[in-house]
Amino acid sequence: MPDEIDLARRGLFRGRLRTAEPPVQLPWSVNWSAFVADCTRCGECLAACPEQILVIGEGGFPVVDFQRGECTFCTECVTVCKAPLFRPTTESPWHYKAHIEANCLANGQVFCQRCQDSCEPNAIRFIPVLGRVPTPTVEPDRCNGCGACVQDCPVGSIKVDGRAAPSGGASQPTLKQES
């Protein structure tokens, strides 16, 4: 019995004929359908990533895992790849933005500002509110989607991906995605 499972074949048996798009692709990568069509799954990008945030995702394709750390936009994954999988690095690496979900400690009146401390572009700020602990807000124009805040959140309430930020009242901190 082989040590590796062909995830693409398993998907076929489950009725999925194509690999699902991950929440976060590699920086500067082309659209997902073009990426999976040309990616050889050689693993060179995984080995080249100095932050070690690239992992093998569904179907054996490389994806970003912010639980392992942040993207420094070093371009190593782009440089090492021999396939036409990336846009020019002079363009924006991606349009992902962070958003904070309802289980943020500030919503439970617990003081925590770790995400602000880890946010180098200062996109996450805490706004004082009379009678409550400060709640986080994100300036989408400053957020580069690096993911530094994701690993630092003790309750996992920060996500970086391409989906729209949840809408909510003043008690629920949110980060809006750039259009």
Flag whether 71 is marked binding: yes
Flag whether 115 is marked binding: no
d(CA 122, CA 119): 5
Beta bridge partners of 46: none
Closest by Cα among 109, 134, 139 to 124:
139
Flag whether 149 is marked binding: yes
What separation in angstroms does the CA of 145 have from each of 59, 131, 139, 162, 175? 24, 31, 11, 10, 11
Residue 36 per-residue DSSP state: H
Q: How many CA atoms lie within 13 A of 6 on its CB side?
A: 6
Q: Tokens 């997902």 — which residue? A: 32
Flag whether 112 is marked binding: no
Flag whether 146 is marked binding: yes
Flag whether 153 is marked binding: yes
Flag whether 119 is marked binding: no
Where is the binding site, in residues? Answer: 39, 42, 45, 49, 71, 74, 77, 81, 143, 146, 149, 153
Where is the binding site for [4Fe-4S] cluster, in residues? Answer: 39, 42, 45, 49, 71, 74, 77, 81, 143, 146, 149, 153
